[in-house]
Structure 1
Amino acid sequence: MELLHHRTYGEGPAIVLLHGFCESSSIFKHFLPSLTAHGQVITMDLGGFGRSAGRLPQPVSMDSMAQQVAAVLDHLSIEKAVFIGHSLGGYVSLAFADLYPARVKGLCLFHSTALADSEEKKRTRNKVIEFVKKVGVPAFIDSFVPPLFYEGRREELSDFIEVLKAEAAQTPLASVVAVTEAMRDRPARLHVLEKADYPVCFIIGKNDTAVALESYMQQIALPKQSTAHFLGETGHMGMFERPQECLQFLLAFVEQCF
């Protein structure tokens, strides 16, 4: 198996950062200086994205993507880690925790959810697949990225939006289609939260159109050690919309895990 593109920063206990759909590890770059003061940070581009664009697992599922993450950690001789997963990265982190529970020291769902897709969400995923096949990746990204940000701040954050669009537009069509199908078909992982013997953290945008606010209420009560942070006037991209608040949440979470 060809390893995912990855980088390590700092020394100490391991902190794994996993990005979202049509993103790359670059979304976390402004968190790295602070996080590396607390441990060894491992960033990687998930299969099909960024510099791992040609490394889509076969077949594509949250489990097979998590197995690719495990292969990187094996290569680095890392037994246990804290996982911080944004959106898709959260789904992959949950799959990792399901497959390798003894290897998890903490789990942060950063605008992510342990619920499976609703029937309505599955229909939306199917429409995405049809749309991107019809118009291509760049046109899809033009319509996909801006709504990830809170509407009232899109103009203010337009520089970030344009950078994300430019990077996301490089994603291969095969990755967009296959990973959308895999997200659509992923199972619920509420049992992972229930069984977690490590701290679990939720970072939640009150105006997130990708993960409904009310869908978190059941989840945040499940782990034995659970912390939830709610961000007002924030959509799905807290690392750009509320960078200082999110960094403080992450630092406190990492300290709790270690």
Structure 2
Amino acid sequence: MKFDERAVGRLHYLEARPPVSARPRGALVLLHAFPLNARMWEPQFGLADRGWRIIAPEFAMDAVRLNATATTVTMDTYAGEVIDLLDALHVEDAVVAGCSMGGYLAFALYRRAPNYIRGLLLADTRAQADAPEALQSRKKMLQLVADKGTPAVVDEMVPKLLGETTRKTRPEVVDRLKSIALSTSADAVAGMIRALMTRQDAMAVLSSIHFPTLIVVGDEDTLTPPAMSEQMHKAIAGSELAVLPKAGHLPNLEDSQNFNEVVARFLDHRI
């Protein structure tokens, strides 16, 4: 699917527009995972053919673009960038999809400006803030990226991001994931880690979400296991839950066909 690389102010983004023959459905905003960038969503850009304007903001950027430092970037920083981008593009509301870190960002956007969201897709994410042991792990990763750069983080994260089936039988997905992650600067990785560490717990806001919501998780996800998605599903009234077989933390890459079918069905029937 053809897409364009664009920028509004400091924020870069990828965009795929629907063909003129398609009935306009509105905007679908895709928020990427850590330690990746907007290119992780390329398998979903084909949804533009169904009438959706795909907008994938790029948060894997150096801190200078965010007018911040790696130690001051927060989820609210990113949420503010999304709001500024949507305003600049004259998008009044959108279906917002977030995978992993992108889900945490979606919660930050919801807390700050719920009027921008008319539908929500939460993929392989959770509402809880980091537990103490997770915070310690992130501190170690901050030191790792400072000492050895992005490649060291990629080596540590890739086995955790992909399900066992993908690691054993889909080498092309492993290679693609590494390529995307390695294109992320060490400064951007550090900024994302800081934002992850300081994010707010979102459990209390789940019951207030009343727009259509789809929750997707791979059944081999060990970072945010299906039980966490089931917990969110129970807390968000009217939400849908899809557990994708033989996929890990990134089902949109690991099994893009199944993922896209689930998302398209949700968009067609619920939005």
Give the structure-1-normalised TM-score: 0.91
The residue number in structure 2 matching 1:144 is 157
Report the RMSD for the aligned CA atoms in angstroms: 2.0
CA contact (8 A) 1:105 1:257 kept: no
1:52-91 matched pairs, under 5 angstroms: 55-56=65-66, 58=68, 59-91=72-104
Q: Could you tell me how far 1:57 is from its partner in structure 2?
A: 5.1
**SS in structure 1 opposite 2:145?**
helix
Which string of whole-angstrom CA distances, capped at 9 and with x for unpartnered residues, describes residues 158-194 of structure 1? 2222222123123222221221121012111123321
**SS in structure 2 opposite 1:117?**
coil
Which residue among 19, 42, 65 is the counterpart of 1:29? 42
**1:202 aligned to 2:210?**
no
Give the structure-2-normalised TM-score: 0.87
Q: Could you tell me how far 1:5 is from its partner in structure 2?
A: 1.2
CA contact (8 A) 2:63 2:187 kept: no
Which residue among 244, 249, 260 is the counterpart of 1:236? 249
The residue number in structure 2 matching 1:4 is 11
CA contact (8 A) 1:35 1:251 kept: no
Percent of counterpart pairs with the same letter? 27
CA contact (8 A) 1:38 1:254 kept: no
Q: Which runs of 5+ in 2 are unaligned?
A: 1-7, 19-23
Which string of whole-angstrom CA distances, capped at 9 and with x for unpartnered residues, describes residues 70-117 of structure 1? 111000111110001111111111111111111110111111111111
AA of the residue aligned to 1:210? L
Partner Cα distance (1:246, 1:213) in 2: 15
Which residue among 152, 172, 188 is the counterpart of 2:185? 172
Q: How many residues align?
A: 255
Instruction: Say which is worse superposed, 113-122 or 33-42, in terms of deviation.
Output: 33-42
CA contact (8 A) 1:56 1:175 kept: no
Q: Which runs of 5+ in 1 are unaligned?
A: none
Which residue among 113, 117, 124 is the counterpart of 1:111? 124
